[in-house]
Structure 1
Amino acid sequence: MPNQDTGSFTWTSCEDCDDKKRVAIKENAVAVGISQCKKLMKMFETSVPGSDGLNRPDILGREALQKWVGGCEDLIRRHRDFGVLVGVAGPTGSGKTSTLNALLGFNELLPTSNQEAATAVACKIAYNYDMRTNYKFRATVTFRTKMDLTKQLDLFFEDMRGRDELRKRGTSSAEDYEALRNANANLKPTFEMIRTVFGLGEKDLVSMTTKDLLGSKTDVGKLLGKTKSYHGGDVDELSEKIKPYMDSTTAKHTKSGQEFAAWPLVDKVELFVRSEILRNGVVLVDLPGLADSVESRAAVAERYFSKLAATLIVSPARRAADDSTSVKLMEDHQELRMKLDGRFHHRSYCVAVSMIDHIDRASATRSRDVKSNSVLQRLIEEEKVLKSKKKDKEGQLKAGKKELAGIGSKTKQSGTTPRGVSKGKYSVAKHKRQRKSQLATIAKLKREVDDLEGNLKALDGHITFLCVKARNEFLEDRIQHDFEQRQAQIAVNDDGLKATYNGRVSICPISAKAFWPCVLDEERLAGFPDSRYSGIPNLTRWIRNATLPEREDHANTVLHDLNNCFSMIQTWSRKEWGQNRLHASSSWIEAHVFPSTYTTLEESLGKCWKTLNSRAKKCNPLLDRKDSLENCQNECLEVVNSWSYKNTQDDTEAAKIHWLTYQANIQRKGLKFVSNTTDQGCLQYSWMEDLANVLLKTLVGDWNQALNIDIPELATGTHEAIDMLWASFTKRLQISVEETLPELLPFLEDVIPSLDLVKEGVKDEVRQALKDISKGASEVHQDLVKEIQKKWVPTFRASLKEKGKHSLRKRQDTIAAFAQKSGRKMFNAAFDNMRAQLKSNFDRLPNTLENISKVAVQKVKGHISMLLNNALLPETKVEEEEEAKLKLQHDVRNALLQWDLEWKVPEADCDADAGENTESVAIPKEYVCKVDLDEETADDEYEKSDDDDNNNGEDGDGDDDDDDSDTEDGSYIGDD
């Protein structure tokens, strides 16, 4: 079998395709390659026995084949573990969970009934590769640790003591009264947790400690720190099993324990389902928010946030529309981190405006924009006319039915009977003629009413659509304007990235409620005639598109490795070498012909890495202390002073913070604290993040340029250097063989193209190593908050010692004094720590590059081993093993032919959205709703009743007047 022509593979010749098509082709090729690898591995498993302890020659090349299989297993494992994370965040009541269910295609997978429970736990949802019938849906539930729960309870009892202290003071000021209510509101979440898990009320806790509480229910201790796994054959089966951990359902969690709701004890849930949106490594992460009052949950969300490739914020349309201020979708600290990580742009950040079906039509049509919409006004007027017509027709229909009911009795009371016709016969005939005429009139009126009803329904849908569209456009303009200002803080000089950092953010209006009737073929919501109008298909497309870069990087890496596996096993199974094999010692050749060239290759790569490492270090944005740190001192004092107010933008007397809230922040050492106030809803305090932001704002521009633009660009020049040194290496390899064993040269020249595949893998690994520097940098700024907090802890402890009258002012003075005296030192220390961490991140590059060299040499050795095993005659001939080898090589060649064919002529795209037309899933700009009115089948029960009469049998006189089932008083069965 000749070497495959890699240029004819669809995945090597698809660079001119659009992004989705190109990635789909590559992911299809990955699926094919892994499937074929598994077939070959199974073949070797049954055909290549292990060592039997006998001293026999290894004619099969058992060791080389086992290494090949090991390489394939590692490759498959890496592919299975790959995931590109998309974070989904949003406030309670935003419809986030319903949105996730719609995206996944499972209406009841994630519970939406208990908002508190559903939003408290980070939930990771990935594709399920387990093909077993009973494992179609899987889940793992990880519980909080005892240390974490103890921390929460310790804080709770401290806050309760502070609340009780305020009660004892007995002051009646409005501020104290408000603070007392706020304190109760702040205690409430943990009170609810204690009531839910331990079954105790506030009165039971008065004399208890954390230790007493934890000891009151032993089943709680049995769950803490544990992980439970569940599986099921259908979504309902799994949903029922994990229900107690995602909503308020009570259950027994140990064999002999009591029933209680355990969701407050859960840290995170991981789900594995077969959903199209999750194919090829897409992972959705339902983030409960980084300000969770439970520290461990906030930490889980924090860890996920630093690894996200894309972020989706779900914001309800009505809430956004009612907000008169700029739409604030993300905390400043999170926003800064996205900017530092190069994720603050429309390809990685999306706002899903949810619940767009929640609209008051009457209110919407009174807005200024709607009133100026001539099309909408025309439709509204047309609706008024049709409603009037419908009312008239309904009146006529009601009168017609009433007249029909009296036809029988009126007919029998009418005048004389014609000569020769019996009175009864004449009355029946006249009755039937009148009834038929009236039935026809009623049927016509009924059709007209139905037509008007259908037209009114279509008009209502069209008007609702236009109202929703107008509100969507209003919100999009507001969000775009807000985002443009925020992104402008990032200076982008690279022309290639200006299209990405274009001041725009992706916005996807959606309605999960409108989506399901379209999917389930039920009655549609007004204004949403098919699933596209719900926006869910459009949001699905954005998620798939947002993950394309990461998915393509992964596909490229896997394909390089698969191609190397293909080529290596192809070398081992070549048939055309059979007649020309050489008499030579494989061990002698490996010891004397190739080692020097391997050493030269490693040395050449080492020189290349030295240059690359030197260039990379120059891109470190924290090499020198920034002059802007001079300004951090003043900003630090401003920030610290702002802690005395509820809102950093409001320093009025009315906005001053209460001593109890100030104390709560100190007790939490300045980490995030959500205060549940009665007048302003939830207020979030994040003192340490406020200080971290002061430093990060001075770094964001240089950081983004260096780590997200300059570092990745180093790959281009390095790839050119690798091409040059590799050409030199293969030339030296040929010279070495020609000088020592020229008979082997024709065989080697056949394998040279395969060695070039190793080179392409090296280039890909270098690109990935540089990308890892940028990824590793996100961990550096992630730790900044904790580093700053360390400097403040002694001051917080000292301030808490201030008690009694004026303690708030004393605490504020203590904290302000530290900011004044040590603010600059704090920022210098934080900067130095960041610089050291970032340097450590850069310092990992040399070892990574060295490992790339070692792996490259090992792969080259693997190709040479396969070459020698097939090109050389065995030193000791064993006919039985020779025959086994020939048969195995024949089977392998057939498998490789199929593999080669499927890479050259793929059967179909495996990506569900490959080749998808952008317009086909976007929310239509115009309203199109087909009203089906079948004139032939529109006749109602009145006409059917008349037809039934005509089939009742003859009356015996031979005329067309059939006898019927009239009652004696002239009425008929079936009249309304």
Structure 2
Amino acid sequence: MVIDETALRAGLHSPSAERIKLIEAKEAAVIKALKILKTIHDKFRAASFEPIDMDLPAWRLRLSELDKKQKGFQHRVGILGDTGIGKSSLLNALVSEKADIAPSSQNGACTAAICCFEYFEPPDSSKKYRAKIDYKSKSEVDKELNHFFAELKVFESQETSESQHDAVAQAERNRFGDNLNIISNWSGLPTEKLRTLGLGSQSGKITLDCVDGKRFFDYEHPDKSKTETFYSPTPQAFLQSIKPFAGSGGKKSKDKMIWPVVRLVHVYVQADVLRSGVVLIDLPGLMDALDSRSQIARDFYNKLHSRIIVTPGDRACDNRTAMSMLQQDQILDLDTDGKMNQDSLCIATSKVDLLDWQNFVESEISPDEVSPRFQLLYQEYEQKNQRLQEVNGEIQDLKEEGGGSTPIDFETKSYDSKKRASSTTTSAYLGSTDESRILHSLFNERKELELQTAKLKGMCHYECIQARNRHSKEALQEKFDKVRNSSREDGAPQVHTELTVFPVSSKAHRLLAKGEPDPAFPDAYATGVQALKDWIIRGSLEAREKNADHLFSMAQVLLDEVDGWIMDGCQIVVKLAAAELPKIKALIQELLNVLEKRLKASHVKLHGGIENLPPNQLKSHNKFDSELAKGFVGHVNNYQISTTTGKKIHCASYLALIRRRGGQFLSQGQHGKETHDLRSRLYIYFWGPRVAMWTTAFQNTLPQLGTVAEAENEESIKAHVLGIQQSPNLHQVFKEAFEERSSRLDNLLAEYQTGLDDLLTTYEASVAEIKKSANDLLDKAMIPVYDAARDQKGTGATMRQYAAMEEGARRIQSKIFPRVSKGLSRKLESVRNKLEKEHERMLLSLIDKIKVMLTSLASMLCLSKNHEADGLMSPEQILEFRSSLTTSFQVWKREMSISKSLFTAHAKEGPQPERNIKTEAGASDLGLIAVMATTSNALQSATSPVFGTPTESDTSREGHDKLPSISTSSEEQATNTRFFREKFPVHLLDRAQTEHGESAPPMADLPPFRRESLGL
């Protein structure tokens, strides 16, 4: 059997092509719906007309909100990694095939500011690349400078301490010097002046006296930030322009460095991986010499949806590379926030092309440990290589026998041409025709062997890369699980999530793009870059689909409101007596009261369940607090010990941690770099026991409560529909008109349900932020403890610092955790109340929209012509305006009907490929009525004179029989469908346009290994 290796590699990582098609179709449907709604908006504006029975200003406002939501969708993917490990090269490979646009780490440079790579459609070739720089405000920079000089002042005041005269202290001293040079670089002020101002508590004058201050800061509004935008026609010009804002030129660079005053760099580029709202974010290291800058990166880190940790392939298992990029408190946050899954976190091992596979096999692993396939390839490679050496030897022997007279171009000529040449110039060849034939044969064999060995070497190289990746993955997995479970409560079940690890060669990918592939990386999947792109896309699919569903339901409701005014006004031709209107409205209100009561009961049940979640109960937290207090002093004493090495932290590093009040510190001593973070250790100590409670409540119970509420809401709406249908007091004419429009009720329910889902998602995000805010509450409680330790100076200061920390811990041990828990409870109560109020507003809005829909329909059925008026327009003018929109509106409705089939075919229970959608293009969608109405009622309503196209014998249209019907010509239908044929999955479109469409399961034609790898 021949195995398509490219297809195999693609199948292992690529998301379901069918699902991508569906989601892209949904997104296209939303864009199409927006276009339709904007066209309607423009027609109303052009006519300078606002109907009295339609709230057009509110409709416009909701359309604007819909447009903003569609354009503002983002799926943020963070790229994390240390300097010089290939992070920027990987980013370049992801967003730009042939040229760099992200600053790389060559010559000691590094990415120093946060860079967001976003999609961009260039207006012309001169503006192919765009960047927007968000500067920090003057107040923000002043605060950073105050922190820096305060720390420098403390450091220099302790120069006589015994901890200040060794390599670790010298490294810290150098770091302060480097930062002074950086400040001097962007401000244009000499370091002497900086020291005078900063140490003299006049840091604000540094930003005032800054050479380019007017460019960076708004002096009149110091709390406001400025922005700067520029374009470039070529990647080379763009890269040079962006470097000062995004990257540091290294210690010896004399280039202008603006990044310290930059909050964010937006890089806009036309890259496929960014096309659907994906934003790739290059995050600088979280361990900065300035703790305030480090906090900016951490705050942004918390907003990520997915994370890619980049680590060099040869050091992937090193605890100071991959694992140091994800701190223990961050792992805890991912765990409690439900983001510890294969779509939210992966590791990319970079520079895998540098693997010396032959040395790897000889010194680190045996051939049989690589793979069964490698053994065969390696055996064949050695045989071919041995034969190649033999052929080279034979050629050399023949050359020597012939006196070295073989022409240089011998290999490039064919044997036949040489044979012909020998009749006239025999001196060009070795002695005889037999010898030349042998030599020619050997040259051909050598050429073939060289090609074969090169290919075999590439295949062996690839197999070794995969073998090392498996080994790296196992080691990383072990460390990852160990770190993850170490913070869990004693006795809690151990957790495990399989890591996704991609071996990546950005260099090989760039060579491939240039048409010069490395034999070990013959395609984009072999380089790992395409597999990583697939992972990014797969991780965004759920959010994209959820967003499209919500936006389309909003668009459908907006269209229904216009439909109620345009189409109903033209097509309702049999009207009831005006005296019937009060009766119908009263009956409608009675039914709405019942609906409101049911919906409010569901509302109360939902929010009662949320209030009773254990994390929302203070007593649930207090049971942990008393136990934590018992071990708190011992916990603080353990700050003297490194969590990485288990050894005592160097006194200079400990002092730096005290100066930073427990904030992150990266020590650089004789044993290399080591990260310390006392704040995160306390955060883990506080949250570790709560992880299981928090995760169960907000990742399991909360979604279940939402699902139950949605099911109850749907049952309530069905009961309301049934109440209208079976009411003995409502006129049959009204019932039939309502049945024809019942899909509008479906759309209102869909908008409400997706809105509720969004509310719960927002609530969940708010809860996650509150969890992280425990850091601030804990830090506040620890400030006096750190400050007391910081004040210890002179000989023996380190031991006195230890004692001060212990004494401070004893002083607050009974208070710190109950106070933090109480603060969290107040915040949780606040966001819970906000959720409840917003949900109540949505519920009342739903009831009001249903009421408007039903009463408007009743008014149209009951009002006479003379009673209908809109502002300055006469009834005749209103009818003419409606009629002018009718033809276009019929086409729009048909397009929306086809689009809607995509959303109804794939409801929350998941894709159902075998399901038939019995919605004919252009026909009325009966919605929930279809579940309850009998066939005879449906047929009766379809031929009712109240709504729809009359037969030729129907004389009840009172002069309006020339209004266009719902059906359109075949040409219009073909034009209307072309867009959907191009954008939508064929099998879905066919099912939407036929009575009984049939479609094979979408993945049935995939080979077994691909179906299995995709979980199908």
TM range (shorter): 0.7 to 0.9
Aligned partners of 1:644, 1:632: CA distance in 2, in Å? 19
Aligned partners of 1:662, 1:487: CA distance in 2, in Å? 25
Q: Residue 475 of structure 2 corresponds to which residue in structure 1?
A: 478
| Alignment RMSD (CA, Å) | 4.1
Structure possessing the higher radius of gyration over alpha carbons:
1
CA contact (8 A) 1:370 1:467 kept: no
Aligned partners of 2:839, 2:747: CA distance in 1, in Å? 18
The CA deviation at 1:770 is 2.7
- Pick from 739, 752, 760 the counterpart of residue 770 of structure 1: 760
Q: Residue 83 of structure 1 corresponds to which residue in structure 2?
A: 74
- Pick from 608, 614, 617 the counterpart of residue 620 of structure 1: 614
Aligned partners of 1:406, 1:289: CA distance in 2, in Å? 56
Q: Residue 554 of structure 2 corresponds to which residue in structure 1?
A: 561
CA contact (8 A) 2:115 2:246 kept: no
- Pick from 501, 505, 508 the counterpart of residue 499 of structure 2: 505
Normalised to the residue count of structure 2, the TM-score between the two structures is: 0.76
SS at match of 1:791: helix
- Pick from 329, 336, 342 the counterpart of residue 338 of structure 2: 342
| Matched ranges for 1:807-956 at <5 A | 807-861=797-851, 863-864=853-854, 867=857, 874=865, 875=867, 878-901=875-898, 906-908=980-982
User: Which digits, 9 at most, give the CA deviation of each residue in 1:735-785, with x for residues without a partner?
Assistant: 78x747654332122222321221233223333333333221111121111
CA contact (8 A) 1:140 1:271 kept: yes
Aligned partners of 1:337, 1:543: CA distance in 2, in Å? 21
Q: Residue 997 of structure 2 corresponds to which residue in structure 1?
A: none
- Determine whether 1:352 maps to 2:341: no
The CA deviation at 1:861 is 4.3
| Matched ranges for 1:37-76 at <5 A | 37-46=34-43, 48-49=45-46, 63-64=54-55, 67-76=58-67
User: Residue type matched to 1:403 in 2?
Assistant: S
Aligned partners of 2:114, 2:408: CA distance in 1, in Å? 70
The CA deviation at 1:165 is 5.0
CA change 1:432–1:798 in 2 (3 A) is closer
CA change 1:603–1:428 in 2 (3 A) is closer
User: Which digits, 9 at most, give the CA deviation of each residue in 1:201-233, with x for residues without a partner?
Assistant: 666656553456445533146414322223456
Aligned partners of 2:352, 2:395: CA distance in 1, in Å? 34
- Determine whether 1:531 maps to 2:532: no
Aligned partners of 1:512, 1:137: CA distance in 2, in Å? 21
Q: Residue 386 of structure 2 corresponds to which residue in structure 1?
A: 385
The CA deviation at 1:320 is 2.0
CA contact (8 A) 2:133 2:227 kept: yes
CA contact (8 A) 1:148 1:296 kept: no
The CA deviation at 1:546 is 1.8
The CA deviation at 1:458 is 1.4
CA contact (8 A) 2:187 2:212 kept: no
Q: Residue 657 of structure 1 corresponds to which residue in structure 2?
A: 650
The CA deviation at 1:198 is 4.0
CA contact (8 A) 1:791 1:826 kept: yes
- Pick from 605, 610, 614 the counterpart of residue 611 of structure 1: 605
The CA deviation at 1:855 is 2.6
CA contact (8 A) 1:386 1:456 kept: no
User: Residue type matched to 1:331 in 2?
Assistant: Q
Q: Residue 166 of structure 2 corresponds to which residue in structure 1?
A: 177
CA contact (8 A) 2:54 2:561 kept: no
CA change 1:733–1:71 in 2 (3 A) is farther
Aligned partners of 1:442, 1:866: CA distance in 2, in Å? 96
CA contact (8 A) 1:123 1:270 kept: yes
User: Residue type matched to 1:765 in 2?
Assistant: G
Aligned partners of 1:742, 1:328: CA distance in 2, in Å? 72
Q: Residue 580 of structure 1 corresponds to which residue in structure 2?
A: 574
User: Which digits, 9 at most, give the CA deviation of each residue in 1:284-336, with x for residues without a partner?
Assistant: 22222333334454333333332322222111111125669995552111111
Q: Residue 939 of structure 2 corresponds to which residue in structure 1?
A: none
The CA deviation at 1:719 is 2.2
CA contact (8 A) 1:122 1:269 kept: yes
User: Which digits, 9 at most, give the CA deviation of each residue in 1:802-822, with x for residues without a partner?
Assistant: 333333322321221011231
User: Residue type matched to 1:79 in 2?
Assistant: Q
CA change 1:582–1:291 in 2 (3 A) is farther
Q: Residue 996 of structure 2 corresponds to which residue in structure 1?
A: none
User: Residue type matched to 2:626 in 1?
Assistant: E
User: Residue type matched to 1:363 in 2?
Assistant: N
| Matched ranges for 1:316-465 at <5 A | 316-321=312-317, 329-373=325-369, 374-375=375-376, 377-379=378-380, 381-382=382-383, 384-393=385-394, 395=396, 399=400, 402-404=404-406, 443-465=440-462
User: Residue type matched to 1:458 in 2?
Assistant: K
- Determine whether 1:100 maps to 2:101: no
SS at match of 1:284: strand
Aligned partners of 1:269, 1:918: CA distance in 2, in Å? 42
Structure 1 gaps, min length 5: 1-17, 53-57, 251-257, 408-424, 493-497, 926-976
User: Residue type matched to 2:176 in 1?
Assistant: L
SS at match of 2:279: strand
Aligned partners of 1:396, 1:749: CA distance in 2, in Å? 96
User: Residue type matched to 2:104 in 1?
Assistant: T
User: Residue type matched to 2:764 in 1?
Assistant: S
| Matched ranges for 1:2-401 at <5 A | 21-22=18-19, 24-46=21-43, 48-49=45-46, 63-64=54-55, 67-106=58-97, 107-113=99-105, 118-128=110-120, 137-161=129-153, 164=156, 169=160, 176-198=165-187, 207=196, 209=198, 210=203, 213-214=206-207, 216-220=209-213, 222-224=215-217, 225-232=225-232, 235=235, 238-248=238-248, 260-321=256-317, 329-373=325-369, 374-375=375-376, 377-379=378-380, 381-382=382-383, 384-393=385-394, 395=396, 399=400
Q: Could you tell which deviates more after superposition, 892-901 or 859-868?
A: 859-868
- The structure showing larger relative contact order (alpha-carbon pairs under 8 Å, at least 6 residues apart) is 1
User: Which digits, 9 at most, give the CA deviation of each residue in 1:246-295, with x for residues without a partner?
Assistant: 23579xxxxxxx98331222121123333222233222222223333344
- Pick from 538, 545, 549 the counterpart of residue 552 of structure 1: 545
User: Residue type matched to 1:684 in 2?
Assistant: T
Structure 2 gaps, min length 5: 1-14, 218-224, 370-374, 410-420, 869-873, 902-976, 989-1001
Aligned partners of 2:408, 2:269: CA distance in 1, in Å? 65
How many percent identity over aligned positions? Answer: 20
User: Residue type matched to 1:533 in 2?
Assistant: A
SS at match of 2:263: strand
Aligned partners of 2:20, 2:487: CA distance in 1, in Å? 29
CA change 1:78–1:516 in 2 (3 A) is same
User: Residue type matched to 1:538 in 2?
Assistant: A
CA change 1:501–1:667 in 2 (3 A) is closer
CA contact (8 A) 2:488 2:688 kept: no
SS at match of 1:260: coil
User: Which digits, 9 at most, give the CA deviation of each residue in 1:331-354, with x for residues without a partner?
Assistant: 111111111101112232211122
Aligned partners of 1:779, 1:162: CA distance in 2, in Å? 33
Q: Residue 953 of structure 2 corresponds to which residue in structure 1?
A: none
Aligned partners of 1:551, 1:397: CA distance in 2, in Å? 69
Q: Could you tell which deviates more after superposition, 261-270 or 31-40?
A: 31-40
Aligned partners of 1:793, 1:633: CA distance in 2, in Å? 18
